[in-house]
Amino acid sequence: MNVLLLSEINNGELSLDATARAVTAVKGIGEITVLCAGTTVSVAAEAAARIEGVSKVLVAEDTAFGHRLAEPTAALIVSLAQDYSHIVAPATADAKNILPRIAALLDVMVISDVSRVVDADTFERPIYAGNAIQTVRSTDAIKLASIRTSTLNAASLGGAAPIETINGFDDPSLSEWVEDKIAESDRPDLTSASVIVSGGRGVGSEADFAMIGRLADKLGAAVGASRAAVDAGFAPNDWQVGQTGKVVAPDLYIAIGISGAIQHLAGMKDSRIIVAINKDEEAPIFQIADFGLVADLFETVPELTDAL
């Protein structure tokens, strides 16, 4: 069995953590080849080569791959596919954009958001916003899967896999990149942070959301948000946690002014410790919280920030 792992690269930089976690998920299946595709990916490829368990790194450099448009990256992977039994990627927005396109071109199904690799053919994945876990067995010749990495440990570094460059690409030129609005932040990345402080509609305004940020900074935490908080403009879309946002599993998740709708829980209920601060004692979030504080957030959050 040979696994091709599409790595996540942004501006030439490898998402090392997500890639190393995905390696952990698939290392029992077979030899792992990591694909680094982008405008310039030599630095990313060197980083990927150090992940233990990786047998080879493929480098595909072309401006067409620079902004991770689905069509050229899918065409590239389809051209490599015959050498592999599995094509996988961490379940990022980019991977979910690209993998189904590859699957259709190969006439196979895609298995999205795999939460456990049972064996080379069998996978577990959450359905119905995580209300059920389904085990599926694939009958396809090539298995395509995106892997949820939030609960996995990253494979260790110290490897030295060979790096090979591949050439000759065909860009279908169906779409073009215009711009990225990517927020730069000194805070840890939401999907790999060990502590997350999240705010919901209860926080009330964008100005008051700064209070969530202050608590997060005190804890060295990432900031998350509910969909209601994002829809109301308190927080940017990339902070959303849930069924349609990010799936996280930090050591500590503090939910502030969040009611605990099932779609929100879908993104955070695997956290080790959950704290809820909400003035409504009936809020469903308390049914899954390890520690609940029934109180007004405008008093408690500054008090908690000072107490730490």
Ligand X SMILES: Cc1cc2nc3c(=O)[nH]c(=O)nc-3n(C[C@H](O)[C@H](O)[C@H](O)COP(=O)(O)OP(=O)(O)OC[C@H]3O[C@@H](n4cnc5c(N)ncnc54)[C@H](O)[C@@H]3O)c2cc1C
Site string for other proteins, 55-84 (x = CB under 8 A): ------------x-xxx--x----------
Selection from ligand X, other proteins, none that 278 binds (CB < 5 to 8 A by kind) is ligand X
Q: Is 76 helix (H, G, I), strand (E, B) or coil?
A: helix
Question: Rounded to an integer, what is the distance from CA 271 to the centroid of its chain?
Answer: 15
- Identify residues 264-283 at the interface with ligand X (CB under 6 A): 264, 267, 278-280, 283
Q: Is 189 helix (H, G, I), strand (E, B) or coil?
A: coil
**Is residue 240 close enough to count as binding ligand X by CB under 6 A?**
yes
- Identify residues 164-223 at the interface with ligand X (CB under 6 A): 200-202
Selection from ligand X, other proteins, none that 206 binds (CB < 5 to 8 A by kind) is none
- Identify residues 73-102 at the interface with ligand X (CB under 6 A): none
**Is residue 43 close enough to count as binding other proteins by CB under 8 A?**
no
97 phi and psi, to 5 degrees? -75, -40
Beta strands at 110-114 and 143-147: parallel, antiparallel or unpaired: parallel
- For ligand X, the closer of residues 68 and 227 by Cβ is 227
Question: Rounded to an integer, what is the distance from CA 147 to the centroid of its chain?
Answer: 9
- Identify residues 114-153 at the interface with other proteins (CB under 8 A): 122, 125-140
Selection from other proteins, ligand X, none that 28 binds (CB < 5 to 8 A by kind) is none
Total residues at the site for ligand X (CB under 6 A)? 27
Distance CA 284, CA 94 (A): 32
**Under the phi-then-psi rule, with left for phi > 0, alpha for psi from -120 to 50, and beta for the rest, what region is 128?**
left
- For other proteins, the closer of residues 205 and 237 by Cβ is 237
Amino acid symbol at 270: D
Total Cβ atoms within 10 A of residue 178: 6
Beta strands at 116-117 and 163-165: parallel, antiparallel or unpaired: unpaired
**Is residue 304 close enough to count as binding ligand X by CB under 6 A?**
no
| Nearest CA among 173, 193, 166, 189 for reference residue 58 | 166
Selection from other proteins, ligand X, none that 257 binds (CB < 5 to 8 A by kind) is ligand X
Q: Of residues 91, 259, 271, 286, which one binds ligand X by CB under 6 A? A: 259
C-alpha angle with apex 36: 35 to 37, nearest 5 degrees?
110
Residues in contact with ligand X by CB under 6 A are: 200-202, 226-229, 240-245, 257-259, 261, 263-264, 267, 278-280, 283, 296-298
